[in-house]
Amino acid sequence: MFKHVIIGVDERQGGRDAIALGRRLVDPSGETTLVNVHVAAADPWRGTSPAEEAAEHEKSIKLLASLQEQVGVEARVRTIGATSPGRGLHIAAEEDKADLLVVGSSHMGLLGRVLIGDDTRAALDGAPCAVAIAPAGYAREPELMREIGVGYNGSPESEHAVAFARRLAKELGANLSAFEAVAIPTYAFTGGYALVDQETIDDLIDSARERVAALPGVEAHAAYGYPDEELTVYSASLDLLVVGSRSYGPLGRLVHGSTTLKLARTARCPLLVLTRAARVQDTGAQDEATTTPAQPVTRSLP
């Protein structure tokens, strides 16, 4: 689980959804920080007057205090001024050395779906740690983490996602499965019709399922179709879907190409994106755990 969770909140429902998800993912001994970003002037020539900045800061403090009281969450609170909510959340995550940033879906999203708006997209793009997105309405009926799934495609990013999800599932006592979507090859189409017969499709699915089944301790799933569509269907049976990312951003370069971007609009459960920065953090933490010598235990004599 995560040791230091940053949760982006505002006056909308998405902030409450993010809090509910953050509570599920933070380690019992971990720390949670609620962050509200008040947007400063984007025009460097105009700037923001001290009076305006003070007013925005006070408004942000009142919002955080009210939200804490309503939700009943024990957490640090922080207000930060930035040119955008995404930038402010990144600054907070970097300064606090957070290992997870949690945001809510767009307030325009359908109930029970992850749907990214501009603020959520900005939080994902170039995030310095892992990012979790709560579906719309998640706070109303937060689910226990009984079923965790991983989007798998054999890449190093998806291999890391499986390893991370395996540890998370063990800590939460959840079942773990992984899913590979066999994409329709472009060359198989001509004139709008597929040249792949059903026997070939069945063979592709069987091969994908065998690859997933070779992963230790993972229930294997596979299907034939467009990855984003098949992963969306798969997500409906999960309490958390974990995917890996190829780089710091932009979002279109996440693992599966544009698949994760589409998935962030359609997933039917919380989505956890393990960015490249999260992978580096995780590797460093494991290296430290294996290389740090055990400290001797001392006891006082009676």
Spatial contact of 32 and 39, defined as CB atoms under 8 Å apart: no
pLDDT at residue 110, as a whole number: 53
Q: What is the pLDDT of residues 125-175, one digit of tens each?
A: 778 999 999 988 899 876 689 999 999 999 999 999 999 999 999 999 999
CATH code assigned at 246: 3.40.50.620
Torsion angle, alpha carbons of 215, 213, 267, 124, to 10: 20
The C-alpha angle 248, 249, 252, rounded to 5 degrees, equals 145
Q: Which domain holds residue 181?
A: 143-281
91/157 same-domain check: no
pTM of the model: 0.82
Give the C-alpha separation, 24 to 52, whole Å: 36
61/175 same-domain check: no
265/191 same-domain check: yes
Q: What is the pLDDT of residues 24-59, one digit of tens each?
A: 999 999 999 999 998 765 555 555 667 777 888 888
Q: What is the DSSP letter of 136?
A: T
3/134 same-domain check: yes
Question: Which are the contacts of 182, defined by CB distance < 8 A and separation ≥ 6?
Answer: 201, 204, 205, 207, 208, 222, 223, 224, 225
Provide the token pair at 217. 């301790």
77/177 same-domain check: no
- Domain boundary among the residues 105, 123, 142 is at 142
- Domain boundary among the residues 142, 160, 188 is at 142
Give the C-alpha separation, 191 to 92, whole Å: 51
Q: What is the DSSP letter of 296?
A: P
162/124 same-domain check: no
How many structural domains does the chain have? 2
Confidence of residue 18 (pLDDT cuts 50, 70, 90): very high
Question: Average pLDDT of 105-109?
Answer: 62
147/129 same-domain check: no
13/74 same-domain check: yes
Q: Is the pLDDT of residue 300 over 70?
A: no
164/274 same-domain check: yes
